[in-house]
Amino acid sequence: MTSQLDQLKACTTVVADTGDFKQLAQFTPQDATTNPSLILKAVQKPDYAPLLADTVAAHRGESLATIVDHVLVRFGLEILKVVPGRVSTEVDARLSFDTPATIERARRIIGLYEAAGIPRNRVLIKVAATWEGIQAARALEQEGIRCNLTLLFAFAQARACGDAKVQLISPFVGRIYDWYKKTAGAQWDEAANAGVNDPGVKSVARIYEYYKQHGVRTEVMGASFRNVGQILALAGCDLLTISPDLLVQLQAADGEAQPVVRRLVPATSVVAPEAPLSEAAFRYALNEDAMATEKLAEGIRLFAVDAGKLDALIEAQR
């Protein structure tokens, strides 16, 4: 049997969205992504307790922030033993509005990977797609440090990331879907808003089409999926980062009975990109998008909370 996962891999690079590297091999993804919440979830499992304890013990005399980065990189190193491509490691979300601090933290993370023998082209530094985060990524890209701009909900964020020539963006499908469903309340029609009509899917498709039509080289990686239907509606996207639960469903689904159809196709002709967004234009466009404004702020808060919980776990072992 050819699974839907096998068929999806024929038109899209499949990325595993997890910090649990012991799960990865069964899905043979090309890349893997992590975030503070996924790492926190992983370190609380008994299987990973020794890894956390060993890393903290090896760096006990260093600052808490430095030990955290060592833990993140340790997980990344284990993931890179399984995936042939890249791993995404996230800068502390509490630095989302501090460009210099984001740059400094990203340099330290990439330095830890390089000290372990990992070349820069196998690591993506994840940064929140705030204006400050995008400017940090612009500077990092010029140093050869590749970036993955996350918590991306608005078209303006995607435009600014393209202007900054970042390596990759991660527009969030599921969280956009969540917002529209909650806002609609009893008026929400699930069937009418499924598949290609899903608001999160439509957002990613719009960004993909704009990038391809305007020759923007930034990679588009759909993220934050709630169901397999959202994933299949974006078949053909540059990359899709998928949780283990949904990877299991795709792996079990018969692709011969329900074949995967490519939905996103690159433009056949390219036109010049639009003029770069100024900071004022970016902030105004983001302000006009209530969904994006709310979900960006919420996402930063949630990642910051989990970063604080990870800090506490490490502090308890110092």
Active site residues: 126
Residue with tokens 């993955």, as numbered in its chain: 148
Residue type, 249: Q
Diameter of the chain measured on Cα atoms: 58
Long-range Cβ contacts of 137-141 (<8 Å, 24+ apart)? 137/161, 137/164, 137/166, 138/164, 138/165, 138/166, 139/99, 139/103, 140/103, 140/106, 140/107, 141/165, 141/166, 141/167
Q: CA 203: distance to chain centroid?
A: 15
What whole-number distance in Å separates Cα of residue 211 and Cα of residue 270?
A: 9
Distances (CA, A) of 214 to 209, 267, 282: 8, 9, 19
Distance CA 200, CA 197 (A): 9
